[in-house]
A and B are shown apart, each in its own frame.
Chain A
Amino acid sequence: MPTFINRFLNRLTDHLDGPLLVIAGLLLLIGTATVYSATYTTLSRVPSQILNIATAFAVMWVVARTQPTTLMRFAVPLYVIGLVLLVLVFLFGVKVNGARRWLSIGFTRIQPSEIMKIAMPLMLAWYFHKHEAALRFKHYVVAALILIVPFGLIAKQPDLGTAILVGAAGFFVIFFAGLSWKVLVGLLVAGGSALPFLWNVLHDYQRKRILTLLDPSSDPLGAGYHIIQSTIAIGSGGPLGKGWLNGTQTHLEFIPERHTDFIFAVFSEEWGLLGNIVLLVLYFFLVGRGLVIATNAPTLFSRLLAAAVTGLFFTCAFVNMGMVAGILPVVGVPLPFMSYGGTALVTFALGLGILMSIQSHRMLVKK
């Protein structure tokens, strides 16, 4: 083979991580097939999803080639921008259906809470990295503040799904940075006893969702409807599923968001327990690979960042599947690489790129 082609191929792939690429590729393949199944009778979303995938790949490729030290430089500005935008949303955001999540910037709307999914772990990892030599209790307090302010702003919008993801990403950093177990248990106990108070703070629709979770049949046409229908879809799928494009439940019935947050119901009905096992294994490998990358990472910053990004993938997958299967409350969380949607896909690709960057620049740093 001519050397320039070799060199080109090398350059194209030298910072990509094989295992991650294969797992994400398989998930995207399954995801696109499922998006097709969910939407081909109405308005097929596949062409625009393919466009989303191309964008996401480009983002991943660029980030993977970027040095972790460069990524670190983005931590503070990205976080500050995200925070300012969140405050702007709080003050002037566009209200849609009672939730103030968007900023109108002339031709389009942006959802600043999305930025925080990545900005939060970057910021916290940078913060701990900076104080690496002597981490004291006060640093954890500051870190908690860095976490709580945007979390509160997003929860207030209200966007429980995104708030949970941002909170989880931040929490993973603090946990892996070595937050004392005693404090952790203390927080857990305190959190438990604060539940009644929290209940009062929640919005009506959020309370309704939690109550519905405990007894879906209490509101079969309203909030409980999603869960009833999605569990029927999953359950009727059986061990082997009804086959691709044959999920009568999801096609004929009224499952809103069946190509986005509830895509797993479509998949599970058509591929059954067998398909679900494949999916669980793929996500487990994805998380496992992330943890391996975190273990091998040379600096505190890259360790924490890798661990947090991995945690984000896990949280999304677990919360989404748990919600659709009716063991977790219904909150808007996308299923990584499966749900339709450009923003979510780009965010996940960014996470992949960060993991690849940390993995591929590992040796350089050690030298």
Chain B
Amino acid sequence: MPHDFASQDREQSQFRFRLGFAGVAVLLCFTLLFIRFFYLQVLQHDYYATRAEDNRISLIPIMPNRGLILDANGVVMARNYSAFTLEIIPSKSGDLDETIDALAAIIDIQPRDRRRFKKLLDESKNFESIPIRTKLTDEEVARFAANRYRFPGVEVKARLFRQYPQGPLGAHAIGYINRINAKDVDWIEENEQSANYKGTEHIGKTGLEQHYEFDLHGVTGYEQVEVDAGGRAIRTLARTAPIPGNNLTLTLDAKLQEVAEKAFGNRRGSLVAIEPSTGGILALVSTPTFDPNLFVDGIDPQSWKELNESLDKPMVNRALNGAYPPGSTFKPFMALAALETGKRTPGQAIADPGFFNFGGHQFRDDKKGGHGMVDMYKSITQSCDTYYYMLANDMGIDNIAAFMKQLGLGQATGIDIAGESVGVLPSPEWKKRRFKRPEQQKWFAGETISIGIGQGYNAYTPLQLALATATLANNGVMYKPHLVKYITDTRTGEKRLIEPKPLRTLPFKQQNIDTIKHAMVGVNKEGTGARAFAGAAYESGGKTGTAQVFSLKGGNYKESATHERLRDHALFIAFAPADKPRIALVVLVENGGFGAQSAAPIARQVLDYYLVGKEAKGPAAEDASGEESADVH
């Protein structure tokens, strides 16, 4: 192509002209800015200097009341109350230790208060006022007022406090609030809420308090105050009222929660109860629990250490973060998979000699000599391992993984609390991702066999197991689990319903679901759950489970001889009433031994209360080392 030099020249000169034009435009714009600056800083300087120095207008944030948290029946789980606190502004007071010692002479200050003050001091800015004592009595307020002149930088303030009237009840679901730290500040800025959090000192740290933070917080109001050069307020010019935070009403039933927590006695474990037709969480237990009230005015380091270092791990939310092998509670889902994929019919029976040989290894059933002829119904009611060893081998790991994924196992459920674990849905792909060395990455066919009875790499959260059980109970329609039923706008009284969201409808044949449910009803009628459910006023379906924590070589497993913490976990899944389930649940008792022995009785107490209002006298499970093991599992 011949180059058109004439046109290129024309183009260049046109470009230069435009650049020149732009240069002039830039100069004009900057001149405009200069004129504006000159106007503000020279011509109007006196006016603005006056406004800035003599009559500074200061905005004083007015805190909104934090929204309440109520259970399904209006029982208050979290509220606010006003109390006097004694606070020190470090930058304005002298030597801190001296000041505190002098204060201790007139007001009761415990070592715990001092420790907490030190911790808050480390975390805060120097000009903030930091509480040394909260909840002063009227007498203490009066005594300080009389001595006030001796303490510059110390003052008594009326503050709103969060209170959890139910104490430790449901603490893992409700969560708690605590003072805002640097990480929270970043989060607030990221959400462009800095202005709204001006003056706010507390923020939801865990559970619902965290998840619904912006709903609960409300909108900060402002008082526009004229202040003099010394910063003292002279008069109020305008006031924008704060908008209180919205109230949360939960699907959780505090009374049911209490029954469930009591049923655990002193055992460690978890219970998740779901309403199958909505996904509403009725109870969410993680024991041992803790008192969220400890955190509200800043927990002292020693109490924190105790909570954190306890062998029982009370701060861990076992329902969402504990991942356990499901043991035999996996079997109904395996059976459903067998029916759906056509690998088994309900009537097809196998002969169980008490073991299954595969690749030179013997996979043993717990019942010596075996269960005889076992069909699907019996495989569930009697919890026959051999049946599932064979089934897993016939199905193959890929089919199992694909099926269980649909049920939400090994997947985040999307519950309205942050930080749930995903657990492990074992598959060859998972193993490849999980392990680094190639020789560890290979999937062995033998590994599939133990997957069939819920052992091996299987690890699910109680919440996932509860969701899968609820989905089965609800004939394959899965609802997203949630704790909040509706949010009430405190200004308008309008209720914003958290719509139950069908996550998916699983394409299972009703006939197959009925077969599994029928067998689970059989478990509680004549199978491994029969003892726990003897004489129940309703028909229920269940499945017991025992998950190995530790396998002793030689297999001569004597429960009482094993250290308590190495004992098997006990599990139980259930739904009731059998024909139209209103509740589905999972019970997990850590190191509880057999599912039928420690987990099923807990489920019985919870179902009894929920369905017929019957309350048990004592806990269903207590740590009882040395007790004879039951003959069913």
Contacts and interface: CB of A to CB of B under 8 A. Distances in A.
Given A175-B18, A235-B45, A291-B23, A280 B34 contact: yes
Given A231-B40, A232-B52, A327-B32, A41 B26 contact: no
A257 B16 CA distance: 39
Contacts of A283: 30
Given A231-B48, A232-B52, A318-B33, A221 B238 contact: yes
A311 B22 CA distance: 9
A268 interface: yes
A327 B36 contact: yes
A154 to B, nearest CB: 17
Contacts of A280: 30, 33-34
A236 B53 contact: yes
Interface in A233-255: 233-239, 248-249, 252-254
A307 interface: yes
A25 interface: no
Interface stretch (A27-35, A189-197, A270-278): A270-278
Given A178-B14, A178-B15, A235 B22 contact: no
B238 A220 contact: yes
A221 B59 CA distance: 9
B463 to A, nearest CB: 22
A257 to B, nearest CB: 8
Interface in A305-342: 307, 311, 314, 318, 321-322, 325-327
Chain A interface size, under 10 / 10 to 19 / 20 to 34 / 35 or more: 35 or more
A239 B41 contact: yes
B185 interface: yes
Given A272-B41, A295-B19, A97 B29 contact: no
Nearest to A247: B52
A221 B30 contact: no
Nearest to B8: A132
B402 interface: no
Contact of B231 (A231, A252, A254, A307): A252
Nearest to B221: A221
A295 B16 contact: yes
A237 B41 contact: yes
B14 A41 contact: no
B48 to A, nearest CB: 3
A325 B22 contact: no
Interface stretch (B186-194, B446-454, B530-538, B560-568): B186-194
A217 to B, nearest CB: 12
B4 A273 contact: no
A294 B19 contact: yes
A210 interface: no
Given A221-B238, A238-B49, A325-B40, A254 B198 contact: yes
B47 interface: yes
Contacts of B224: 220-221
Contact of A41 (B32, B44, B51, B127): B127
Interface in A134-191: 172, 175-176, 178
B27 interface: yes
B240 A43 contact: no
A190 to B, nearest CB: 21
A96 B33 contact: no
A65 interface: no
A76 interface: no
B40 A234 contact: yes
A314 B26 CA distance: 7
A234 B37 contact: yes
B441 interface: no
Contacts of A43: 125, 182, 185
A235 B34 contact: no
Contact of B26 (A235, A268, A284, A326): A284
A221 B222 contact: yes
B58 interface: yes
B56 interface: yes
Contacts of B45: 235-236, 238-239
Nearest to A307: B19
Contacts of B49: 235-236, 238
Contacts of B30: 280, 283-284, 318
B15 A256 contact: no
Given A235-B44, A235-B52, 14 more contacts: A96-B190, A175-B18, A234-B41, A235-B41, A236-B52, A239-B45, A248-B53, A252-B56, A254-B195, A291-B22, A307-B15, A322-B32, A322-B36, A327-B36
12 contacts: A43-B185, A133-B1, A178-B18, A248-B53, A253-B57, A272-B41, A273-B41, A276-B41, A280-B34, A287-B23, A307-B15, A314-B26
